[in-house]
Structure 1
């Protein structure tokens, strides 16, 4: 995907949030007060509030802010496809989150790979978005420049999984002066804060006599902060619990889109990805055509007669046809594995459900099965000299289509379950070996021991073999009787244990269709329940943070109560979303290597009694040396930890955090950059925002915004881009 397509899909998945509701309310107030809004602002607000749009003006806005407009139509690329640079991918990762209507953002070291000028530009933009739109945003940085550091409002300094300081940025030096450390005049504050936590660098900042100095550990500094008035202030509530304001800011639905719209969005993206991968499909179809020509030359009809010897050749040709059709679908494994990281990332943000991805990914491959089977049979059927009957031609074609679709569905399931090329291809060849062994040709059924008959009946290749040989050898030309008073066709079928009546052809079709449905379901279940082996996934924590979560998740939005607001002053309602966390601890099982070295406990604590608050409209910096616990804290707050043990209380707008709905209003920019390499930015952002549209928006509101935007030329021109 290109940069624009990636952002369009992201925007479509994330939806427009409360923008239509806000726009409708603002328009009503403006009309009542006789206010004529600025034309440019009015058009922009209406354009970004359009629901179910494949493209969004917000995409162009974000592209310009992050300096991605020069590569908007460039493929994202991967190890095999030349695409974006590392810095551009980092900006794309950030853009993919902020293009949606999320209210809370966690950004993990987004400056990696960026030059200082670009970093300053991006953080400056985030500062304006945070202060104007009242976003709740925390950005993890390793070593910010002084200019970037000065852009932040609040500072969270971490070390060894503990909070050393959490408060206004400009008061950090005062706190450390109270602890006995002074920052030199020409020393950069960010460097001072990092070095003061180091055992080898701390002494140079000690303000007292050198004789009185002793190393103050992060644990002691953390205790000093908790006893300080700044630390005690964190214990004070920011908002009243379960306030109406918090309810307005939260999302209470797991997905933005209804099921049908979700399937449409995922289907459109899958069709686009198939179009971008057209070379692969054309190449393997061409390869199949070449093999078909070679096969036809080996079993040429001019040398084939209807005797028992040549009947064996025909049996081998049918078996080889089935085998080639089955092997033709193996590239599906590699293609599916390449898409899994992007799928798991978007699934963790609840862009769409696993089934919304699995069904289009499977159903849209049916035309490929039809095309490959048609190419093969058109070359080989009359070239080899099968029975010259149109009905039997189509019967063989139908059987090949079903077996191709069955095995490609199996390949997708294998790829989604094992997730790595090595494991997937190992089990692929294991499955093919099983099919060949019990398919009825390599090892005929009469030669099998009775206790192995189960393998014969569960192999899809068995039913494909039964259907094709019945279709061919029960034709009239094979009904010549031999000296044993048995026809040639029946004799060859009996020898291979495939002698069944004609109705068994349709039983074989039904069995293959059942295997297709079974592998479809297995593919969807694997995507739904198998956890990604990569680190790019997020899901619910092992322990619920509060017993009230399930009860509070049933809360529904009530009236916004803006009817009594004065009409003299026009303001856009802003939903603030404070995030608080109290006594947050995170443990993992101690690695066996550490236990062997004498580590005393079975659990290793990574976060130690973390207490803090993230305020709306305040840009917070999360700092600390490598290994301080910055990423761990962000992952725990965002609910991205699938292992370990979480203790403590996390509240969103005064409500206990419910992960399934919190993800709807969360934007997480991770260190790794994961995108669909075949999609553009514009398409990805549009799909992403569209899929996350809240379901509580009524039909009347859905129709108002498109009608208003349709009256302008901007919406029409935008759709024609």
Structure 2
């Protein structure tokens, strides 16, 4: 690790946080070098780089290419794609492959001192203008091989290359290298990854732990939001509707904030996962399971804080049985919203798209939760939606666990009824359904976590 840091010239900032690109942390040029360093840790013999100097100014580009030359000095091969480089960057390469539009090769070979081999080859083609003194060979090369120049000269540079001695020499070299050495066994790997599944999962879980621990804005934000929403006490003589309304608003508010807050986390970490999965570090399943599990202790803490503040604030029953049910409902509901957001993010190509879909889902679960329109009053063609909405089971569990077994009489709509009878007739809540409610409250987070894991592995939103 120390050798890699020195090689990439990052040893002076080894303890700095990477941060968010364009917002905080290290610079863009340092991020480029860090990306190269991550690949070097596995000690590869060949490294592929896609436009390593893109988006950098001249000074930063030179710094990156200096690092690339340091890597080459360690007997590693570096293959880069690059567009319109400066003369300093261009002459840092030993060999180049120049392709015209369509992917046809028009030059492949060594550059030579001050690009002499390249210049000699193209100047040897009749009609090609000579390079000016102190002119960038890369710029000249692109100018003289332009399609308009081909049309003007009536030549095909790809065809000329295939008829050249350079092509014949390269072809001969390829034919020699493609023949395996006698006596060598065929290359075979017993496993796809260097570590077993358990080690992959532990590594991803530890990485997620560090990522969450170093993101106080995300973690403290949701805890503070829980306290802000819940310090809204009502009078002690509140009726059942006020209690239901308080519990409902509290749950929807904190749930929606959990759903929306996870979207940028998942979409940003997904980009890193794509690169590391491609490099063969771990499968997407290890990443997904780690991200699912790392949320559990934070959700547990959030649910505990929610319970401590909301339970006395709404003046619910002081019973260990009812407190336990209340905590279980809140814990499963927060998990459900969090994993629902992760599932939405796994199905969306960008954070913006995920945010739109998340807002729509919040509206739908709010509308069909059974509070604004009780289940018995829903149209028959929409009542099925009520039964599949997780929020409806949250409200059912919270209210039924507190009041579903209370036979005290109240006045509801001008009639005297027991609380149990009123909940059953007006909302369709039955205390005997608590076991089913508990099972479904746990099943929904598992369902959404499974969707997140599956589609993270199956869908790829990379734009390259």
Q: What's the TM-score once normalised by structure 2's chain length?
A: 0.87
Task: State the match for 1:229 in structure 2.
Answer: 165
Counterpart Cα distance in 2 of 1:244 and 1:400: 67
Following TM superposition, by how much is the alpha carbon of 1:352 offset from its aligned partner in structure 2, in angstroms? 1.6
Deviations 1:79-128 (A, max 9, x none): 56322223222222322223323233222232342527525532432332
Following TM superposition, by how much is the alpha carbon of 1:140 offset from its aligned partner in structure 2, in angstroms? 2.7
**Do the aligned partners of residues 420 and 82 (structure 1) sit closer, same or farther apart at CA in structure 2, a change above 3 Å counting?**
same
Deviations 1:43-85 (A, max 9, x none): xxxxxxxxxxxxxx3xx22222222222222232335632222
Contact 1:460 1:512 in 2 (8 A): yes
Task: State the match for 1:68 in structure 2.
Answer: 10
Contact 1:120 1:147 in 2 (8 A): no
Counterpart Cα distance in 2 of 1:150 and 1:250: 38
69-78 vs 464-473, greater mean Cα deviation: 69-78
Task: State the match for 1:126 in structure 2.
Answer: 71
Q: How does 1:170-569 map to 2 (within 5 A)?
A: 170=112, 171-180=117-126, 181=128, 182-183=130-131, 186-198=134-146, 215-216=152-153, 220-236=156-172, 237-241=175-179, 253-294=191-232, 297=233, 299-301=234-236, 303-304=237-238, 310-329=239-258, 330-476=260-406, 478-480=407-409, 487-502=417-432, 504-532=433-461, 534-535=462-463
Counterpart Cα distance in 2 of 1:485 and 1:155: 89
Contact 1:396 1:471 in 2 (8 A): yes
Contact 2:72 2:78 in 1 (8 A): no
Counterpart Cα distance in 1 of 2:226 and 2:443: 26
Following TM superposition, by how much is the alpha carbon of 1:429 offset from its aligned partner in structure 2, in angstroms? 2.3
Counterpart Cα distance in 2 of 1:360 and 1:401: 19
**Do the aligned partners of residues 311 and 340 (structure 1) sit closer, same or farther apart at CA in structure 2, a change above 3 Å counting?**
same
Following TM superposition, by how much is the alpha carbon of 1:390 offset from its aligned partner in structure 2, in angstroms? 1.7
151-160 vs 115-124, greater mean Cα deviation: 115-124
Deviations 1:309-335 (A, max 9, x none): x12222222322322332231211222
Following TM superposition, by how much is the alpha carbon of 1:457 offset from its aligned partner in structure 2, in angstroms? 1.0
Counterpart Cα distance in 1 of 2:73 and 2:188: 22
Contact 2:229 2:254 in 1 (8 A): no
Q: Which structure dedicates a bigger proportion of its chain to helix?
A: 2
Q: How does 1:76-155 map to 2 (within 5 A)?
A: 76-78=18-20, 81-112=23-54, 113=56, 114-115=58-59, 117-119=62-64, 121-129=66-74, 132=75, 135-144=76-85, 149-155=90-96
Q: Of the two structures, which has the highest relative contact order with CA contacts closer than 8 Å and spacing of 6 or more?
A: 1
**Do the aligned partners of residues 333 and 149 (structure 1) sit closer, same or farther apart at CA in structure 2, a change above 3 Å counting?**
closer
Following TM superposition, by how much is the alpha carbon of 1:424 offset from its aligned partner in structure 2, in angstroms? 1.7
Contact 2:97 2:109 in 1 (8 A): yes
Counterpart Cα distance in 2 of 1:187 and 1:471: 81
Deviations 1:386-441 (A, max 9, x none): 11212111111111111110111001111121132332222222222221222121
How many residue pairs are counted as aligned between the two chains? 450
Contact 2:193 2:280 in 1 (8 A): yes
**Do the aligned partners of residues 70 and 491 (structure 1) sit closer, same or farther apart at CA in structure 2, a change above 3 Å counting?**
same
Contact 1:440 1:498 in 2 (8 A): no
Counterpart Cα distance in 2 of 1:97 and 1:437: 49
**Do the aligned partners of residues 246 and 90 (structure 1) sit closer, same or farther apart at CA in structure 2, a change above 3 Å counting?**
farther
166-175 vs 178-187, greater mean Cα deviation: 178-187
Counterpart Cα distance in 2 of 1:464 and 1:247: 61
Following TM superposition, by how much is the alpha carbon of 1:486 offset from its aligned partner in structure 2, in angstroms? 7.4
**Do the aligned partners of residues 123 and 273 (structure 1) sit closer, same or farther apart at CA in structure 2, a change above 3 Å counting?**
closer
Alpha-carbon RMSD? 2.9
Deviations 1:238-288 (A, max 9, x none): 324455798677756432221001001100000001101123211221221
Deviations 1:695-719 (A, max 9, x none): xxxxxxxxxxxxxxxxxxxxxxxxx
**Do the aligned partners of residues 340 and 429 (structure 1) sit closer, same or farther apart at CA in structure 2, a change above 3 Å counting?**
same
Deviations 1:129-165 (A, max 9, x none): 3xx3xx4432233345555555533222222232111
Contact 1:143 1:191 in 2 (8 A): yes
Following TM superposition, by how much is the alpha carbon of 1:451 offset from its aligned partner in structure 2, in angstroms? 2.5
Counterpart Cα distance in 1 of 2:79 and 2:22: 34
